Amino acid sequence: MITINLLPEEYRPQPGITPKKAALIASGALVNASLLAWWCWLSIGVSASMSSELAQLDEDMAGLTPQVDFHRGLESEHRQYLSRETTLDEITSERISWTRKMDEMVDLVDHGSKASRYLVWLGNLNVSQVADARRDAYGMFRAEGFSGSGNFANVANYLEDLEESSFAQGFNSPAPPEGSQSKVDEELVPSEVWSFPVELSLKSPEERKSDGTK
Amino acid sequence: MELSELIKNKVMLSVAVGVGLTALLGGAIYFESEHITEVQLEIDGRKAEIVAAHSLVAGTPDLVKQVVVERETDAVVAEILPSEEDINNFVRTLRGFEEASGVRITAVKKKSLNSKEKRDFARVVYQLTFEGDVFGLMGFIDQVESDSRFMSVPAFKLAAAAREKVDAEGKPLHKVTLDVETYVYEPQKASDPQKIDGYERKVEQLAAAIDERRARLQVASYEYLGSRDRRDPFVDPRTPADSLLGPMMTLEEQLAVVDGLVERASDLQASWKSYHELSDFEARVQAGVTFEKQLFTLEEDVRLLQVEGSLRDLDAGRRFREEVVPTVADLRVAMGESQYGHGPALELLKEAREVMAGHLAVGRFEQALAALTPLEAGLDRAAEDEARAPLVAEIRDLAFRARTAMDFDDLELVLGGVIVGEHSVALVDGKSVEEGEMVAPDLFVQSIEEDRVEFLYRGIALARLVSQ
């Protein structure tokens, strides 16, 4: 049987919410309520607590900042002193005491004649100290040597003593003995003289340091 | 029509609102989570900064100490490498070196340099030209190298004086060209020093570290002791052949004479040593007199050789100058000014006086006179010296007392007995004598006591005990 409701629309009874719809609305409301609770927990609980922790840390850092600035200032001052001292060390460590070297040379020549091993004297002298690591050149001690004797072995004696003396410290070994006999002068005793070169090249500053050259 | 139906459908509307709300809340949660992540990162960063700051600040006390030490020793650096204003003083200093070393500067020139700067330090090089012997050169370099301002000699040349010029001028004047290098301290822009609390107190606490660093910064220098009678190695040392001829001593004779003098000087040194080791005064005086005589003779021989200039050979001359002359001079200084030929020395007289007085005080008259014996011969000459005359007089007085006492002991006096009272009487050699009475020439009774009689013998009071 077919029933027809002839009442106008506004007078007809409204259909009720079905259980299915009610369940849908309730679950939607529950989800939203959960989301709202989560958001509240995040913004009021977690976020506020973290902001407070950050503020505390900022405060701690603010307390430390003057100390850190003081430390940095001291570090900067210390670096300046350190740099100056390093430079000073570089400058001073490169110096060779030529007083010592010349004193040792005078001793050597003097002792040789006292011990009658040789009678040696020097002519023009040229000493230079340079720093040219590329050419492996650090300076030279160059002099004209004279031996008052007809015996060339005396030159060898002198060069041997020279090589073994403290003077030679910091220098590379001298070249093997070579020389030529000068004109004989009968007005002087001894009359015969051998002339020979005295040439020694300086070692590098590092080698001199490890040698203990002063 | 369908839309209006839909709107009218409240259920659908609720669903739509619910979905919208869900989306809104989801978005809010998402953004909040993002914010929280950012804050967390910030917190982590801040924590790391704080840990780093704590770690940094923990090292501050040590750094403060270092900086205090460095500040306090910066003056040493400033002294070693002074500032630009001191460069004029540097030139004045060179002038001082010239005077101290005995060279003669003939030119001073500032050298232009290729850039070889050392950060805070600018290099300055002066080239000097001067004349002098090798010891003058060494003295000059020594002055340069041992100055409190850091200087070095990177190069020098020496043109040896010709033999003829050395003979003509009497001393070698080599021509020397020498570079003197120094650095001027030009500090680059530096930050302001930090204020350190309790700075003065910290300086006091760190005094040892400051001293240690100061010592470390000082540049060591070589101790140059001068020529020490060594020959200038830039002078031809050969002896002119003609100086070895003629009436002068031969080479062998010169060497033999010097050998003899060296031996005598050496013997005298040994005598001087053993003289000091003698504890017995008489023996020491005897040794001293002998030593003085030998030293005097040696001095005479040395003087004679110097005046005559007999030692022409360089080796003989050098040995004479180095091994004889200084030894004799040292011995003379040790011995004191010569008294030989002028009587005993002042110190010897003083010692003799003390020894004699000591012997006399305990009645050792013979020993007192023995102490005088070695000096006696020179006493008259010593008495002529104003400084020594009072001592000679004292010594002679002591000797007189000793002799008088010995003579008094030799007198045969027999003391029979004494009566002590208002007028005391003594029985001497069988005769009764009172105080003040003469017993024999130069012998008077001075006082009479119960156990002794005191005599005045040659003006000196001496006593004899009364035999019981």
Q: Tens of pLDDT along B312-360?
A: 777 788 788 888 888 888 887 777 654 555 677 777 788 888 888 888 8
From chain B, the residues in CB contact with A191 under 8 A are: 241
Q: Do A43 and B33 touch (CB under 8 A)?
A: no
Kindly report, residue by residue over B49-103, the tens digit of the pLDDT: 999 999 999 999 999 999 999 999 888 877 787 766 566 777 788 888 888 888 8
| A47-93 and B60-80 helices, crossing angle to 10° | 30
Q: With bands split at pLDDT 50, 70 and 90, how would you rate the model's confidence at A117? A: confident
Mean pLDDT of B31-53: 94
| Average pLDDT taken over every residue of chain B | 83
How many cross-chain Cβ pairs, A to B, lie less than 8 Å apart? 238
Same domain assignment for residues A67 and A109: no
- Assign B434 to helix, strand or coil: strand
Output phi, psi for B191, to 5 deg: -75, 160
As a whole number of Å, the end-to-end CA separation of chain A is 132
Q: What is the pLDDT of residue B457?
A: 87
Q: In what order do the strands lie in the sheet with B121-132?
A: A180-181, A194-201, A137-147, A120-132, B151-159, B174-185, B121-132, B104-111
A90 to chain B: closest CA residue: B118
In a domain, residue B73? The reply is no
Q: Are B375 and B423 in a shared domain?
A: no
Indicate yes or no: CB of A100 within 8 angstroms of CB of B222. Answer: yes
| 3-state secondary structure at position B132 | strand
Residue B239 within any structural domain of the chain: no
Q: How far apart, in Å, are the Cα atoms of B229 and each of A50, A68, A97, B370, B383?
A: 89, 65, 22, 46, 41
* CB-CB neighbors (< 8 A) of A98 in chain B: 141, 145, 153, 156
- Cα(B368)–Cα(B394) distance, integer angstroms: 13
Q: Which of B243 and B122 is assigned the larger pLDDT?
A: B122
Looking at the partner chain, which of B59, B118, B237 has a beta carbon nearest the beta carbon of A91?
B118
Of A68, A95, A124, the CB nearest to B159: A124
Q: Mean pLDDT across the stretch B390-401?
A: 90
DSSP A114-164: HTTS--EEEEEEEEEEEEEGGGTEEEEEEEEEEE-SS-THHHHHHHHHHHH
User: Do residues B291 and B268 both lie within one domain?
Assistant: yes
Closest-CA distance, B403 to chain A, in angstroms, reads 59
Q: What is the CATH number of the domain that holds A125?
A: 3.30.1360
Q: Is residue B143 part of a domain?
A: yes
Select from A35, A70, A93 the last residue of a domain.
Answer: A93
B173 and B133 in a common domain: yes
Q: Residue A214's Cα: distance from chain center in Å?
A: 24
Instruction: Give the total number of structural domains in chain A.
Output: 2
Of A72, A93, A114, the position where a domain reaches its end is A93
Residue B333 pLDDT: 79
**What distance in Å separates residue B237's CA from the closest CA in chain A?**
7
Residue B212 inside a domain? The answer is: no
Residue where a domain stops, chosen among B335, B356, B377: B335
Question: Is residue A5 included in any domain, yes or no?
Answer: no
- Report strand pairing: B174-185 vs B415-419: unpaired
Could you give the number of structural domains in chain B?
A: 5
Cα–Cα distance, B117 to B249 (Å, whole number): 63
Return mean pLDDT, chain A: 87
Are residues B169 and B90 part of one domain?
yes
- B396 found inside a domain: yes
Per-residue CA distances from A99 to A20, A199, B352, B457 (Å) = 113, 18, 51, 76
Closest CA to B178 of A128, A102, A124: A128
Residue A20, Cβ neighbours under 10 Å: how many? 9
A169 shares a domain with A111: yes
Q: Which of B169, B185, B201 is the last residue of a domain?
A: B185
Interface of B with A in 96-115 (CB under 8 A): none
Work out the pLDDT band at B300, boundaries 50, 70, 90: confident
Cα–Cα distance between B20 and B24 in angstroms, integer?
6
Determine, yes or no, domain membership for A15.
Answer: no
Whether residue B442 is predicted with pLDDT greater than 70 in this model: the reply is yes
High-pLDDT (> 70) share of chain B, %: 90
> Region A33-45: what's the mean pLDDT?
93
Residues A146 and A187 in one domain: yes
301-320 of B, contacting A, C-beta below 8 A: 315, 318
CA B341 to chain centre: 36
CA distances from B186 to A164, B68, B119 (A): 43, 21, 8
Chain A residue numbers with beta carbons less than 8 Å from the beta carbon of B66 are 78
Residue B168 falls within a domain, yes or no? yes
**Which 3 state secondary structure label does DSSP give B366?**
helix
Q: What six digits make up the tokens of A31?
A: 């989800």
Same domain, B401 and B421: no
Q: What residues does B128 pair with on adjacent strands? A: B108, B178
A35: which chain B residues are within 8 Å (Cβ-Cβ)?
22, 25-26, 29
Q: Do A189 and B240 touch (CB under 8 A)?
A: yes
- Could you tell me if the ipTM is greater than 0.90? no
Residues B401 and B436 grouped into a single domain: no
Report pLDDT for B244.
Answer: 55
Pairing of strands B443-448, B452-457: antiparallel
Q: Is A13 within the bounds of a domain? A: no
Looking at the structure, do residues A156 and A182 belong to the same domain, yes or no?
A: yes
Q: First-to-last CA distance in chain B?
A: 179
Closest chain A C-alpha to B67 CA, distance in angstroms: 6
> CA B73, CA B203: separation in Å to the nearest integer?
11
B337-370 burial, b at 16+ Cβ within 10 Å, e below that, comes to eebbeebbbbebbebbbebbeebbeeeebebbbb
CA angle, corner B418, sides to B415 and B420, nearest 5?
A: 155
Please tell me the predicted confidence (pLDDT) of residue A190: 83
Cβ pair A150, A190 in contact under 8 A = yes
* Domain with A88 in it: 20-93
Distance CA B109, CA B128 (A): 6
Task: Find all residues with CB under 8 Å of B76, minimum gap 6, and list them.
Answer: B214, B217, B218
Put simply, the answer to whether B60 touches A74 (Cβ < 8 Å) is yes
pLDDT computed for residue B8 by the predictor: 56
Residue at a domain's end among B158, B185, B212: B185
Q: Closest Cα of chain A to B233: distance in Å?
A: 5
Q: For residue B360, is it within any domain?
A: yes
Residues A32 and A128 both lie in one domain: no
**Per-residue pLDDT tens digits for A128-172:** 998 776 777 889 999 999 998 888 888 999 999 999 999 999 999
Domain span holding position B372: 346-409
Which pLDDT belongs to residue A51?
A: 92
Q: Is A50 a domain residue?
A: yes
Does residue B226 fall inside a structural domain?
no
pTM above 0.80, yes or no: no
DSSP helix/strand/coil, B197: coil
**Cβ within 8 Å, pair A188-B155:** no
Residue ending a domain, choose from A45, A69, A93: A93
